[in-house]
Amino acid sequence: MNDTLFYLDFRKPSVSQPVGRGRAEGSKFVQVEVTEVLNPQKYPLTFEVRYQSKDNAKTYLGSFSLYPADHPGKFIVATQGKVKDEGAIILTLVVPEKVDARDRIKVTVKKMKFLKG
C-alpha cells in the first residue's frame, strides 16, 4: 500500500489522506515524497500541509517548495503535536504566479508517512 500515488495539478491542487489508527501517535513529522514533476515553465511550486480533524477543523502545519522548481525530493513538515489518529492530512499545491491555461503542471507524490523523529 506504500506504492499509492497521488497526482496534483493546478486544476486539482489538493489531496487528502486519512491518518489511520495508531499511525500518527508520537510522530514528529509528516514526510511528503515528490516522485515526479512536470513543470516545463519552471513555475515556483509551494506545497502546504494541513491536518483536518474529525470535526473538520483545519490546522496549518507548514509548507515546502521545490528547488529547482521541477526537482523531486523528500520533504518533512513538523506535526507540532497537533495530528491525532482521527482525521486527515491535506496536501495542497500552491502556484504563486498566474498560470497560463495552456501550461502543464503535474506533480506525483507517494502516500504520506509519519516519522517519529
Q: What is the DSSP string of the chain?
A: -TT-EEEE-SSS-EEEEE--TTTSTT--EEEEEEEEEE-TT----EEEEEEE-TT--EEEEEEEE-SSTT--EEEEEE-TT---SSSEEEEEEE--SPPPTT---EEEEEPPEEE--
pLDDT digits (tens, 9 = 90+) for 13-72: 999 999 987 788 889 999 999 999 999 999 999 999 999 998 999 999 999 999 999 999
The CATH class that applies to domain 5-115 reads mainly beta
Domain boundaries, the chain: 5-115
pLDDT digits (tens, 9 = 90+) for 77-106: 999 999 988 899 999 999 876 878 788 899
pTM: 0.92
